[in-house]
């Protein structure tokens, strides 16, 4: 895919959604961190249902520690891998209080050192909470990047590196949100909604499913 096509893709996505953001519900960087940890292999909808009950009760590292891991599990038990995620969140709370005065760090190295925080989660935090032009590659973005020819790659990290190289600078801050929403609601895995796709004529998928 050439640079003209790539630019046109993001111009259209921008026109359709000028101010995209995550569908996870949060009001602070710490709430977002908890929500993103919970969202691994789970839907944003299921996470939001849980955090709507959790955050009014405990939404700071100290409050979650006071709540305790066992009670935290009760709030998030409908989310996949909730036991492991609860453990990671409590461990993260300890680290934030011990090392960062209860604040979420704004560097990749510090974020990835937190339990339950991998590269994708760190990228989400850097982008959404701290306004850095990173691109977190999830299953939707990985699929789209390969399917339409935007930034083909065999691994998530390869796709991320290519996206950072080929996405025009002016679109990098919002590219993650545009692509994930497009993959979630339009360019779906099993049944792409090509009739509703605003970039269909730019798609380079060789074996079109639509």
DSSP, res 201:
G
pLDDT band at 207; cut points 50, 70, 90: low
pLDDT band at 208; cut points 50, 70, 90: low
Largest interatomic CA distance in the chain: 55
pLDDT tens digit sequence for 89-125: 999 999 999 999 999 999 999 999 999 999 999 999 9
For residue 111, give both structure tokens.
Answer: 């974020």
For residue 53, give both structure tokens.
Answer: 């009950």
pLDDT tens digit sequence for 136-147: 999 999 999 999
Whole-number Å distance between alpha carbons of 66 and 111 = 23
More confident residue, 205 or 135: 135
Domains of the chain plus CATH, in order, are 3-20+134-202 (1.10.1670.10), 29-129 (1.10.340.30)
pLDDT at residue 7 above 90?
Answer: yes
Q: Tell me phi and psi for residue 73, to 5 degrees.
A: -60, -35
pLDDT band at 43; cut points 50, 70, 90: very high
For residue 209, give both structure tokens.
Answer: 């499913």
| Active site (catalytic) residues | 120, 138
Q: What is the pLDDT of residue 199?
A: 96
Whole-number Å distance between alpha carbons of 157 and 4 = 24
Q: What is the pLDDT of residue 101?
A: 97
**Distance, C-alpha 170 to centroid of its chain:** 20
C-beta of residue 97 within 8 angstroms of C-beta of residue 61: yes
pLDDT tens digit sequence for 144-193: 999 999 999 999 999 999 999 999 999 999 999 999 999 999 999 999 99
Predicted model pTM: 0.92
pLDDT band at 19; cut points 50, 70, 90: very high
pLDDT tens digit sequence for 54-73: 999 999 999 999 999 999 99
Whole-number Å distance between alpha carbons of 134 and 54 = 29
Whole-number Å distance between alpha carbons of 93 and 122 = 16
pLDDT band at 205; cut points 50, 70, 90: confident
Task: Return the closest-CA partner of residue 86 out of 111, 50, 118, 57.
Answer: 50
């Amino acid at each position: 895919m050439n640079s003209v096509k790539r630019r046109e893709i993001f111009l259209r996505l921008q026109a359709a959604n000028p101010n995209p953001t995550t569908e996870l519900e949060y009001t602070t960087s710490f709430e977002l961190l908890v929500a993103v940890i919970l969202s691994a292999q789970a839907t944003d909808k299921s996470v939001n249902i849980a955090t709507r009950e959790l955050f009014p009760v405990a939404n700071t590292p100290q409050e979650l520690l006071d709540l305790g891991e066992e009670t935290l599990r009760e709030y998030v038990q409908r989310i996949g891998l909730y036991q492991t995620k609860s453990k990671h969140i409590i461990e993260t709370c300890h680290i934030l209080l011990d090392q960062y005065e209860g604040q979420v760090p704004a560097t990749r190295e510090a974020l990835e050192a937190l339990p339950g925080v991998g590269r994708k989660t760190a990228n989400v935090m850097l982008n959404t909470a701290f306004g850095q032009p990173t691109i977190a590659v999830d299953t939707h973005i990985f699929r789209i990047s390969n399917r339409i020819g935007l930034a083909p790659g065999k691994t998530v990290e390869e796709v991320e590196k290519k996206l950072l190289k080929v996405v025009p600078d002016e679109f990098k801050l919002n590219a993650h949100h545009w692509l994930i929403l497009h993959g979630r609601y339009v360019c779906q895995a099993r049944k792409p909604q090509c009739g509703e796709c605003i970039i269909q004529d730019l798609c380079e998928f060789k074996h079109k499913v639509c």
